[in-house]
Amino acid sequence: MAAAAQGDELSAPIDEALAAAKQRSVPAIVDFYAPWCYSCYFMAKNVKNGPEWQRLQKQAVIVSLDADSPAGAHWMKQFAARGLPSYVVLDAGGRELGRISLERTRAQFYPEIAAISARGGDFEALKARVADGSPASRAAGREVLATFAARRDAAGAQAWLAGLAPAARQALDADPAGSLWQSRLALQAAASAGDAAACTAVAQAVLDGALGCDRAYELGRALECTAGLSVAQRRSLFAGQVPVMRQLLDRQVFVPKPGCADARSLVTTAADLSKALGDDKAEAALLDRAIADIERRLGGAGKLDLKRDRNLADNLRLYLERAGRIEALDALYPQLIAAYPDDYVYAFRHGRNLVERGEFARALPWLEQAAPKAYGVNRLNVARYRAEALRKLGRDDDAKQVVADALKANGPFFPDEVAKLKAAL
């Protein structure tokens, strides 16, 4: 395929969406998703439907891009979209108005999208509105900082802040929400750099803030960044988060109608917190509680209806894996594959899990079941594990053929994954 043809293929979805947006005089929304994305499952079932979604489809051109496809991966990189799902709102000229990163509840998503779409200009125009200490300037500043955080662009935020007029900077520093966003961006930068000292210095300011459901992300970031510290040091830093997380779980997760869209991150981050503090019993008890809660929501342990809610079904899979319940996990995988037969995801996950446990003969049929349904970067990942299983079973020629077929079908895309696949031989 010629380079120009490749570019046309990658650009076509956005070009077509922008042309339609211009014709209709509406924004374009780029909806990034992936077939393995549990947060995308949540959005599909709980948010992207009903009269609000139908109305949004009339008010904007929505283009959905699979992040594992060549075009999706290309535009994820172009827009610096680093989380899934991501919703990037563009004006008809292709300039970004704003974005939403990760899942939201229905009550959060539609007002956020409406506010972004209603902006009188793109992101550069929004930044220009932060000029003094007025309430309007502070409000625009909070939006700018939130957008930088969604982009995970802490360096860009710092450069922008450094160039503000003194009155505007002082107003943002004094504004509780503006100050919290700055601390969150500083933690983001420190975590990205792997700087445990900088993470420690800013973590308390972040965790003392009104984070709501986002606490899982910020606490998780701080825990990961300080993994090299001693248990005693981490207890000093994070022990106060135990009752806060327990309250969030009791009020927002383990209730008839959970209030946080991403219950999974709250559960796993709370489990990570217990582990970091050396409380293995609390970690195990929380995972047991989460497993029992999902089984109840899906109809009961003996009669799981996995089609009822794929987000919950996938959370169950993860919690079983995290809890080390291998026998229960191995029993669940065939049920998940049967419940969602049209994609590669669970056959691949099961095969990969078995390969990682050294059970190559058991893994191979599941990987072979996944292979015909895989595409894009998925095709390469499935082929890599198939080749590993085949080689371990003494079938080197078959492994080489699997790799050759995947590389031929893949074309010129995903060079990093191609290198990993070639290395499997």
User: What CATH number does residue 45 fall under?
Assistant: 3.40.30.10
346 and 380 co-located in one domain? yes
Domain count, the chain: 3
111 and 133 co-located in one domain? no
In a domain, 281, yes or no: no
In a domain, 162, yes or no: yes
- Per-residue pLDDT reduced to its tens digit, 119-164: 878 999 999 999 999 999 999 999 999 999 999 999 999 999 999 9
Note the pTM of the prediction, 2 decimals. 0.93
Give the pLDDT of residue 2. 39
Q: In whole angstroms, how far apart are CA 366 and each of 2, 154, 325? A: 35, 42, 20
Res. 32: pLDDT tops 80: yes
Domain that holds residue 383: 342-425
63 and 155 co-located in one domain? no
115 and 39 co-located in one domain? yes
| Amino acid letter for position 92 | A
In a domain, 276, yes or no: no
Lowest mean pLDDT among 55-69, 394-408, 411-425: 411-425
25 and 115 co-located in one domain? yes
Give the chain's largest Cα–Cα span.
Answer: 71
11 and 121 co-located in one domain? yes
94 and 164 co-located in one domain? no
Res. 279: pLDDT tops 80: yes
- Per-residue pLDDT reduced to its tens digit, 43-83: 999 999 999 999 999 999 999 999 999 999 999 999 999 89
- Per-residue pLDDT reduced to its tens digit, 217-250: 999 999 999 999 999 999 999 999 999 999 999 9
54 and 79 co-located in one domain? yes
In a domain, 207, yes or no: no
For residue 30, is it left (φ>0), alpha (ψ between -120 and 50) or beta?
Answer: beta
53 and 17 co-located in one domain? yes
Q: Which residues are paired to 28 by β-bridges? A: 61, 90
| Amino acid letter for position 231 | V
d(CA 425, CA 387): 7
